[in-house]
Structure 1
Amino acid sequence: MDNTKLTKFGDFSILMIAYVWVFVASAVSPALGSMAQDFPGVSTLKLQLVSVSPFVTSIIFSVAAGILAKRYDKKSIVLGGLVIYGITGMLPYWATSIDQIILLRLLTGIGVGLILPLPNIIIAEHYDGEPRKKMLGWATALANVANVINSVLIGFLLMRGWRYCFLAFAIVLAVAVINLFGLPKSPPQKQTSENMQAGAGCFINRIPKIVYLLAFYMMMNWAILQLNILNMAVLILSENLGAPWMIGLAIAIPGFGCIFSGALFPQVFKRLKNYLAFAGLFLFTLGSVTLYYTHSFSTLLVANLLEGIGSGLLVPYLFYVTSTKVDAQQYDFSFGIVTGAMHLGILFSPFLQVGIAMLGNTESLRYLYLVTTIALAIATLISFVYERVNSKQQVEVIP
């Protein structure tokens, strides 16, 4: 760990990178309806690609960022990624076709991917113990604060037309300026450079298998959470749970839950320790059960809040476990994999829903929620049994 003492502005600069983690989606998805009116005849699939296409390139370049961090200062990579992110994010304002927008969004994903894993890598390098937990928790919380604030901002911009939503990406350039002055330098580890000279393939083979398992957990966490968000409008309107204006509120509630649990992550971790994963999964499962049985808007909000709190505990926990299971020289590539799994989960979510529908030969949302609830319940039980067995083994080896 780098023991360089950071200023409060340095802390703030690191966290501001997390602020634009998911801005690439939250700034554009609300505009798809207006966009469809300006481009009549465009298929629903193409419109959806406008929203999700950046995740295709962000997943690839998230891993690439981990590799680049072995050769170059992470601050330089962050600044380059933010500039690409901000400029290409704004360019669709001048686009004249959906194809142009999709192409530019793919380029935006490159910038997103370059910055995605770096806040967690920098945190792992500059912080340890409680400060590390605090920063990882706040990074998760701030990413969800961004979703709430962005929803309000984009709502106002939509009054002027969908093109203005893309101008909101100027926020990313503002974050770049903040990081130009506040982000600490994070040069590559000396040993990492030597490993790279020995060959990337050998280095990848030395990454612990648990990193890929943690990435899978991260992917499924975001995939299941995204399933809820994707189907919120359909559920509310098809079952008369509320008026159309209530959809935005329902979608924002999981974010509030993530903010709450992310901010309290260090305190919760201190009390629950290794049982924190069980607690997060239990709350996520409880929210999914409530969602399955809900027949009112109030219980829907409770379900979304529980899912948000559960997810908000799991995300920083997975990042923290990653930082403790690999050597400092493996941070770059390991965090690239685990952080990239966030966007992979969002991208995978629609395909997961199709697979579940084919499995049960029904597109019923109740069936979808039942399957996800069972999966979460099994994961919760496995987590509890694993920690119980692991705790007993630790006690037995103590003389």
Structure 2
Amino acid sequence: MAGAMIAPAIAMIKIAFPEASNFEINLLTSLHAGLVVPFSFVSGYLTKRYAKKSILMVSLVMYLVGGIGGFLSPSIEFMLITRVILGIAIGLMIPLSITLISDYYDGEERTKTLGLQSAATNLGGIIAIVVSGILALLSWRYSFLAYGIAFLALFMVFFFLPKKAPQAQGNGNEEEASSFDGRVFLLAIYMILTFVVFFGIPSNMALFLSELDITNTVVNGIIIAICSVGGFFGGMSVAFFRRVLKTFFVPLQVVYMAIGFSMIAFLNQYIVFLGLGVLILGFGYGSTVPVIFDSATKITSGTGRSMATAVLVSSIYLGQFISPLSLGEISRWFGDGSVYFSYVVMALALVFVAILLLAERMLHFTGVKKWLARSSSNHALIEVKKANVELQERVDMLSQQVEDIQTQQMQDNREQLDILKKLDRYNSGNNQPYNSNN
């Protein structure tokens, strides 16, 4: 939401800098995203050499400079430079916000805290945009002062966050302190798909509403805010639902998003159902993201955990980038190119995936999956027994052949021995000394 914070003032900034191109104006809300991905990995690298508290404080100072700096902008070029600084700061901060939670919390408490972090992100985004919009009524410059909320975070980090060396976070084992699991990349794919689904709302909702002949910008803002409200409640309740639902948790998150998108696609003639669908979709998204981060922190440790977080953060922005492109292409390939059709396809795809996941869980839960596994095992056992019988028959046949050969060899040996005895007697008779009396 850091880029969208000044969205209410964009039109006034365009008026203040008439020489700026539309491309430069659009960069004000998107330029930072291009820097978040590489500097997320830089953040993971820096944690190998510096305390996380130090990195976080430096990045917060940069965030304040890059955010509030727009207030002093004499030109559009200066403003874009401040957005670059802002993007670097966000890239350094986001992985730390996850890894610090994993450093100080374990088990269900970690899941709960990650959920609270997700909830705070959604709620903070709503508050920041509202505050920025109010300040923009005074002047477009004042909208940049909304970034000043980072002073509170800087104060809390300085006084309350312990300064712990990176190597102290492990168990004293250097190899364990930098462990990284390849399954993180599977989680990254899951994260990308989650944001391809979720980001279809903020990126395309205005166009979708215009297709429904709803052009009121206030309604558009309320719908997007409702999605963030759903994300807030999803993050707040993630620990509870994960504990209660156990292995059904992930399939039901997909079910939530499937229900939400289905209501948006098929019940959009009623604005109440449209808002409710967005709320449910946001709830599914808000409870999914912290679980993905939590899963990554459980299979990694130390500085490897920082790198895993950087991979997932990159996946978030990659998913945001892919979302409008993929939904647009799907609509053009299979439909009329409208946002409505892309929402319909997304709803049907989510319903299909939800049914598959629930079916798999039900098979496992009811024991059918185990029965199928046992049936397969029994069949395999029968085949093994048949193979053993055939093998034993071949062994017996070979044993009989060996026995016949040995018998034949013994008989041949006896015959050869008889011949040798006869030759020996013959030779003994011919070699007797000559007797003169004869």
Q: Same fold (TM over 0.5)?
A: yes
Q: Distance in 1 between matches of 2:216 and 2:146?
A: 28
> For 2:216, what is the secondary structure of its paired residue?
coil
Q: Once the 2 structures are TM-superposed, how far is the Cα of residue 386 of structure 1 from its aligned partner?
A: 5.3
User: Aligned pair 1:148/2:126, yes or no?
Assistant: yes
Q: In structure 2, what is the Cα distance between the partners aligned to 1:131 and 1:28? A: 35
Write out aligned runs for 1:8-23 (5 A).
Answer: 22=1
Matched, 1:220 2:198: no
Report if the CA contact (8 A) 2:331-2:337 is conserved: yes
Post-superposition offset of 1:387: 4.5
2:125 counterpart of 1:119: no
Deviation at 1:370, TM superposition (A): 2.0
Q: Tell me which amino acid in the other structure corresponds to 1:50.
A: L
Question: 1:166 and 2:144 equivalent?
Answer: yes
- When structure 1 is superposed on structure 2, of 210-219 and 257-266 the one drifting more is 210-219
2:148 partner letter: A
* 1:168 match: secondary structure: helix
Q: Structure 2: how far apart are the matches of 1:274 and 1:45?
A: 46
Larger Rg: 2
Counterpart residue type for residue 30 of structure 1: P
Structure 2: gaps spanning 5 or more residues: 375-438
Q: Which residue of 2 aligns with 1:346?
A: 320
Structure 1 residues 388, 81: closer, same or farther in 2, change over 3 A? farther
Aligned pairs, number: 368
- Distance in 1, matches of 2:332 and 2:19, equals 28
Bigger mean CA offset, 351-360 vs 149-158: 351-360
* Alignment equivalent of 1:88, drawn from 66, 74, 78: 66
Q: Does 1:55 align with 2:33?
A: yes
Q: Tell which deviates more after alignment, 183-192 or 83-92.
A: 183-192
**Which structure 1 segments of 5+ residues have no match?**
1-21, 198-202
Aligned residue for 1:295, secondary structure, equals: coil
Percent identical among aligned pairs is: 26
Shift of 1:329: 5.1
2:43 aligned residue (65, 74, 91): 65
The alignment's TM-score, normalised by the length of structure 1, stands at 0.83
Give the whole-Å Cα distance in 2 for the aligned partners of 1:36 and 1:152.
20
Mapped to 1, the partners of 2:77 and 2:247 lie a distance apart of 47
Q: Name the aligned partner's letter for residue 330 of structure 2.
A: I
CA deviation vs aligned residue, 1:84-139 (integer Å, no higher than 9, x gap)? 11111111222244343333212211000101011211111111122111101100
Choose which of 157, 167, 170 in structure 2 pairs with 1:189.
Answer: 167
- For the Cα contact (< 8 Å) 1:66–1:333, is it kept in 2? yes
CA contact (8 A) 1:157 1:165 kept: yes
75-84 or 217-226, which moves further after superposition?
A: 217-226
Alpha carbons of structure 1 residues 99 and 321: separation in structure 2 relative to 1, 3 Å? same
Instruction: Write the letter of the residue equivalent to 2:339.
Output: L
Alignment partner, residue 348 of structure 2: 374
Higher relative contact order (CA 8 A, sep 6+): 1
Match of 1:140, SS state, is helix
CA distance in 2 between partners of 1:369 and 1:361 (Å): 11
Alpha-carbon contact 1:66-1:336 (below 8 Å) kept:
yes
- 1:41 to partner: Cα distance: 6.2
Aligned CA distance change for structure 1 residues 394 and 317 (closer, same or farther; 3 Å): farther
Structure 2 residue 153 is the aligned partner of structure 1 residue 175: yes
Q: Is the 8 A contact 2:47 2:303 kept in 1?
A: no
Q: Does 1:305 align with 2:283?
A: no
Which of 14, 25, 37 is 1:36 aligned to?
Answer: 14
* In structure 1, distance between residues paired with 2:356 and 2:50: 40
The alpha-carbon distance between structure 1 residues 230 and 183, as it changes in their structure 2 partners (threshold 3 A), is same
Give the Cα separation in 1 of the matches to 2:283 and 2:66: 33
| TM-score, normalised relative to structure 2 | 0.76
How far apart are the structure 2 equivalents of 1:122 and 1:394? 40
Distance 1:357 1:99, change over 3 A: farther
**Which residue among 133, 136, 153 is the counterpart of 2:111?**
133
CA distance in 1, matches of 2:261, 2:344: 8
